[in-house]
A and B are shown apart, each in its own frame.
Chain A
């Protein structure tokens, strides 16, 4: 079983290629039932086009290592949250230049101040949101006022 988790930890997210599917918290469980491995995954965002690729990548990885009795199933409840992202994953995101999710979702109502997202480059708190929506469903678009660098923020999703 540990072997399977190790292999899953080598499957990378196609859109954020520094994170593995385990870092992201997409893999919910691995069970062996009558010599068949059941891998349960959950989508981050329902419409995320990367999910199909991820499912295929997991299957390819496991089959390459001789695990062919497997079923990959999708579960949507409980719904995915960024709380399931590993600390290791958050560290890797920052090193890659994407600000990791803060523990608070953006609760700003209308024009109230949004949460502070430190710049992944220079660590300044003086950043501003450019757009709630970024290059993928899971990200928002920010800019650092201090070092002027634009960056992606992996939205807190709870």
Chain B
């Protein structure tokens, strides 16, 4: 493995996480539970797709094939996407959407904070830009987790179920393999220990305020980072890629 290959693979992971979660939230455009939330969720979607644009543009320049960010976003096969399974999970009800967002935001914020110090200048500059928006997202998703958890009996039980279901996908956020090890050694990406401890603190603090309890089962799903996705991914990609597959090279 060389530096460029490793970086390509890593940046693709960051880009795919942003892209797929951005696509999921975009599905809610016009379907939010209330007008303000409709606008909030699509604003977050827009930020994530903006982040994906930068990450995938950078990845494209590294891959050796000079692919554009659009090529990477629209023309890969399912097994070539390397996002975590968490972000491709369906929107479900509002509690599911918010819990998925919260578990992701709580991870993304400390990760980007650390990536700002990357020895790779380009990666550091994208992280610096994306961090400001991500902090805002985390604030929003945390507040809703608390509001729903510490809300009515109904909202509490619903979001507890969301947590029980989605928590099984959270472990994959901390997946590492030889790509990470290589980049960590070169000070391009951080060790995940500090990111993980901050994630755990945030999750613990918010769940306590939300009067929610940690799931007692210890199921862990993973596979996304290696291109093995849940059944939901194919449907998501069918929607995402429809225009480019149907009208190749079409532009707005």
Measuring CB to CB, which residues of chain A are less than 8 angstroms from any residue of chain B? 43, 45-49, 76-79, 106, 108-111, 130-135, 137, 141, 155, 157-158
Supply 14 further A-B pairs (C-beta < 8 A) apart from A46-B133, A77-B129. Answer: A46-B50, A46-B129, A47-B48, A47-B53, A48-B50, A77-B128, A79-B128, A111-B143, A131-B36, A132-B139, A133-B36, A137-B47, A141-B39, A158-B132
Interface SS of B by simple majority: helix
- Name which residue of chain B comes closest to A80, CB basis: B129
B142 at the interface (CB under 8 A from A): yes
Number of CB contacts from chain A to chain B under 8 A? 74
Q: Please measure, in the bound complex, the distance between the C-alpha atom of A25 and the C-alpha atom of B209, giving whole angstroms.
A: 39
Q: Which range contains the number of B residues in contact with the other chain?
A: 20 to 34
Instruction: Kindly identify which residue among A110, A131, A135, A137 contacts B46, using a CB–CB cutoff of 8 Å.
Output: A137
B139 contact set on A, CB distance < 8 A: 106, 108-110, 132
Instruction: Kindly identify which residue among A49, A132, A141 contacts B136, using a CB–CB cutoff of 8 Å.
Output: A132
- The proximity string for B residues 101-135 relative to A, scoring 1 for CB distances below 8 Å and 0 otherwise, is 00000000000000000000000111011101100
B6 contact set on A, CB distance < 8 A: none
Q: Please measure, in the bound complex, the distance between the C-alpha atom of A133 and the C-alpha atom of B128, giving whole angstroms.
A: 21
Complex contact A133–B142 (CB within 8 A): no
Interface SS of A by simple majority: loop
Complex contact B126–A76 (CB within 8 A): yes
